[in-house]
Chain A
Amino acid sequence: MSSDATSLPDGTEFRPSPHARRGGLKAGDARFGVMLLLPALLAFGLIVLSPFIQALAMSFYKYTISTPEPVFVGLKNYGKLLSDPTVRASFVTTAIYVFFTTSFSITLGLAWAIILNEPFKGRTAIRGLSLIPWIMPATVSAFIYGWIFNSRYGLLNAIGKELGLIEYPVAWLADPTGAMVAVVMTKVWLSIPLFMSFFLAGLQSMDREQIEAARVDGAGNWHVLKDHIFPHLRPVFLVVVVLGMIGNLQQFDSIYAMTGGGPVRATSVLSVEVYRRAFEQWDIGMAATVGVLWVATILPPAYFYLRQLMKGAE
């Protein structure tokens, strides 16, 4: 320690404080850091990484109810799948589902956030109530919507008949378009609270005087929205779009509970496709292959999201 000491010409000595930090992590610090991460790493390895590697391996095997042991087939499953029109249809269905759920959730979530950001009586209560769809299990919501769209005693048919829009009850879920509308609506309803929260947080961090300055400058509602609120919410949009896409690509429970992927394959998104191949047709190898392709679809937005997140953390 005395080697670091400095002194003035008059002989006054200064030694470094014993509490001074030395540069970099000490050996003990690094070990401690690893120990902190260990539980999460273990959980990740057991629950995420190892099943994924097993599934990846399984995608190179033929393993159905008629094969007692998995048979290695190389890339054959992939070749079969890529030429399978039902899988291509499943990708299209997924794309439609993700596009509509994400865009409607964002539009309505933003609109709702803007409304809830305005001062009015009972605002706090409504903000609280708005979170209900988010709190409820998705399957419960799916059943609620199942009732709404039910052909015999559904709310939608009742209202439609009351208003004179339809003459006879419509079997919404039995119609490919109707079923898609139903699953999309359910998911949008589920997502609005989360997206609304994101946007509301963004709106609340906005400088009130900036809007007032814009008003004084002559901006009407549209210009306030376009020139000030949207640019301010841009980073939020980025996160919400990516998170929304990832979430919607993964969606399974609400769709399966409502339509089971039907009618026929109309709402059979990738997640439902994997489930059907695995547990209805007992074609584990093919299910794993669809699963791997599905992960490959999610990776780009996920990567993009993580990169943005890391950038923000720096």
Chain B
Amino acid sequence: MTELSIQGLYKRYGAVEVLTDINLNVRSGEFTVFVGPSGCGKSTLLRMVCGLDEVSAGTLAIDGEIVNDVPPSKRGIAMVFQTYALYPHMTVAENMGYALKLAGEDKGLIAERVRRAAEILKIESYLDRKPRQLSGGQRQRVAIGRAIVREPKIFLFDEPLSNLDAALRVDMRMEFARLKERLGTTMIYVTHDQVEAMTLADKIVVMSEGRIEQVGSPLDLYRAPENRFVAGFIGSPKMNFMPVTGQGDGRLQVPGGTIDIPAEIDASRVVEVGIRPEHMQIGLADENTLRGNVMTAEHLGSDTFAYVEIEGLERPVMVRLDGEHTIQTGDPVDVGFATRSVHLFDSDGLALRRQKVSNAA
């Protein structure tokens, strides 16, 4: 069943168009992540779903009802804000029960629902405290608790982890995954961090400059990005891009070497190729090889990132190696990679598809 349906949605501030022709369906129980660089309109889209920003054109339907002109509190949604937006002069319990209190619910019922939500989030022990007496992670839980208590049809999360330190962020990310299992409610989550998107989402919506670039499961986006933007945005470390300098005999010329391409692809349309750092190797001459010099290497223990300078390329190519790999700066090296892991882009930045989606590991 479709929980949220967005059709032909636009958002304009005067002459400035912030969102352009957004079309999206979110199924019931799905964890959907809006991801994109800052200023891409992902937060605006979430705020429109919430009802905090008005719809300029198009329709927005929740659970089969058009809600364009329905106030936020009547949409069956709950939102967790980036700053948590807890009410500073109310206790944790009062914060969590506020919506029910406004709805005129019975005190006993409010207490029961607050207690249940607190139990899920393990915050029972500080229900009587004020927000300022809590740590960042605890505040985050209270903010989520306040949303849970309302038993919404859709949870909305606006960059909920961005105010936490790195270690806590990983913990809370797991917490979100657990919450998703436990509640089974539709969730929409906004982030600029593609790792959060990859780890949490059933469905990722990649946005850029007010448009949806691609919608799909995390692995779909990783394996078969539809355009250069998605290819560059999804995956960490980022994909290496190289311009095509010429072609012949079913091979593309790129700085430092040549690349085989499948016969069904029209080589003349390819203007750029992309290869992920983890799909490249050093020293092993695979199907394709590029020549270059090691500019620098980062040894992270688990991985080694080698930056290989190739003549004719502005930026060095990054190669992800296992942590055991030792590599010397300045060494001339061969960078090898398989043809099936090469992404091909035309002059519009659109991916040229092989007939069968590759299973690049």
Q: Give Cα A232 to B85, complex, Å.
A: 13
Contact among A212, A219, A228, A234 for B81, CB-based, below 8 A: A212
Asked whether A216 lies within 8 Å of B50 as measured between CB atoms, the reply is yes
Asked whether B79 lies within 8 Å of A213 as measured between CB atoms, the reply is yes
Interface size on A, residues (CB 8 A): 17
- Per-residue contact bits, chain A 220-239, to B (CB 8 Å; 1 contact, 0 not): 00010001100110100000
Asked whether B99 lies within 8 Å of A209 as measured between CB atoms, the reply is no
A207 at the interface (CB under 8 A from B): yes
Chain B CB within 10 A, most for which of A210, A213, A215: A213
Asked whether A219 lies within 8 Å of B102 as measured between CB atoms, the reply is yes
Asked whether A216 lies within 8 Å of B79 as measured between CB atoms, the reply is yes
Asked whether B73 lies within 8 Å of A218 as measured between CB atoms, the reply is yes
Closest to A216 in B: B72
Give the chain B neighbours of A207 by CB distance below 8 A.
Answer: 83, 85
Asked whether B81 lies within 8 Å of A213 as measured between CB atoms, the reply is yes
Q: Give Cα A225 to B89, complex, Å.
A: 14
Asked whether A217 lies within 8 Å of B85 as measured between CB atoms, the reply is no
A87 at the interface (CB under 8 A from B): no
Asked whether A231 lies within 8 Å of B102 as measured between CB atoms, the reply is no
B103 at the interface (CB under 8 A from A): yes
Q: Give Cα A216 to B52, complex, Å.
A: 8
Chain A CB within 10 A, most for which of B77, B87, B150: B87
Q: Give Cα A210 to B81, complex, Å.
A: 9
Which size class do B's interface residues fall under?
20 to 34
Asked whether A213 lies within 8 Å of B85 as measured between CB atoms, the reply is yes
A241 at the interface (CB under 8 A from B): no
B312 at the interface (CB under 8 A from A): no
Asked whether A215 lies within 8 Å of B85 as measured between CB atoms, the reply is no
- Per-residue contact bits, chain B 75-98, to A (CB 8 Å; 1 contact, 0 not): 001110111011111100000001
Contact among A210, A216, A234 for B87, CB-based, below 8 A: A210
- Per-residue contact bits, chain B 146-184, to A (CB 8 Å; 1 contact, 0 not): 100010000000000000000000000000000000000
A214 at the interface (CB under 8 A from B): yes
Q: Give Cα A55 to B150, complex, Å.
A: 66
Asked whether B99 lies within 8 Å of A218 as measured between CB atoms, the reply is yes
- Per-residue contact bits, chain A 41-79, to B (CB 8 Å; 1 contact, 0 not): 000000000000000000000000000000000000000
B58 at the interface (CB under 8 A from A): no
Asked whether A215 lies within 8 Å of B81 as measured between CB atoms, the reply is no
B285 CB → nearest A CB, Å: 54
Asked whether B77 lies within 8 Å of A218 as measured between CB atoms, the reply is no
Asked whether B78 lies within 8 Å of A216 as measured between CB atoms, the reply is yes
Give the chain B neighbours of A232 by CB distance below 8 A.
Answer: 88-89
Give the chain A neighbours of B71 by CB distance below 8 A.
Answer: 215
Q: Give Cα A218 to B78, complex, Å.
A: 10
Give the chain B neighbours of A231 by CB distance below 8 A.
Answer: 88-89
Give the chain A neighbours of B103 by CB distance below 8 A.
Answer: 218
Q: Give Cα A223 to B77, complex, Å.
A: 20
Contact among A212, A218, A219, A234 for B85, CB-based, below 8 A: A212
Asked whether A209 lies within 8 Å of B87 as measured between CB atoms, the reply is no
Give the chain B neighbours of A218 by CB distance below 8 A.
Answer: 73-74, 99, 102-103
Asked whether A216 lies within 8 Å of B73 as measured between CB atoms, the reply is yes
Asked whether B50 lies within 8 Å of A227 as measured between CB atoms, the reply is no
Given known contacts A210-B87, A227-B87, A228-B87, A217 and B102 CB-to-CB distance under 8 angstroms:
yes
Asked whether A217 lies within 8 Å of B83 as measured between CB atoms, the reply is no
Give the chain A neighbours of B98 by CB distance below 8 A.
Answer: 214, 217, 219, 227
B347 CB → nearest A CB, Å: 43
In the complex, 7 of the A-B residue pairs with CB atoms within 8 angstroms, ordered by the A residue number, are A213-B86, A215-B73, A216-B51, A216-B72, A217-B146, A219-B73, A228-B87
Interface positions of A (Cβ within 8 A of B) = 207, 209-210, 212-219, 223, 227-228, 231-232, 234
A-B contact sample (4 more), CB < 8 A, given A209-B82, A209-B83: A216-B77, A218-B74, A218-B103, A227-B98
